[in-house]
């Protein structure tokens, strides 16, 4: 399902114009991105959490040059689904 599909589905079920739904979804995504960039996690009860994970420093190999490089510790965004969400997805299988 794409963002356009989500906009169409919400517009159809709520009766709100597609432009307003699209603006709301874009705003939501921007707020989540800004919050994560500032180090704040975003918690949506019953859906899940957008969190910041820290990856440890590690040694990697460049196979073509046969050298080792060190990848420094860094942070990545992640999504952790709520238990209710996971249970619902598992029940559908």
Question: In CATH, what is the architecture of 41-93?
Answer: Irregular (4.10)
- Flag whether the pTM goes above 0.75: yes
Q: How does pLDDT run along the chain (93 residues), one tens digit per residue?
A: 999 999 999 999 999 999 999 999 999 999 999 999 999 999 999 999 999 999 999 999 988 999 999 999 999 999 999 999 999 999 986
Contact 38, 63 (CB under 8 A): no
């Amino acid at each position: 399902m794409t963002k356009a599909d989500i906009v169409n589905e919400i517009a159809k079920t709520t009766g709100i114009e597609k432009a307003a739904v699209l603006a709301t979804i874009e705003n939501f995504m921007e707020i989540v991105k800004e919050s994560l960039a500032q180090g704040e996690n975003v918690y949506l009860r019953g859906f899940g959490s957008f969190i910041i994970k820290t990856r440890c420093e590690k040694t990697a190999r460049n196979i073509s040059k046969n050298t080792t490089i060190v990848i420094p510790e860094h942070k990545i965004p992640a999504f952790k689904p709520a238990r209710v969400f996971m249970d619902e997805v598992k029940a559908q299988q």
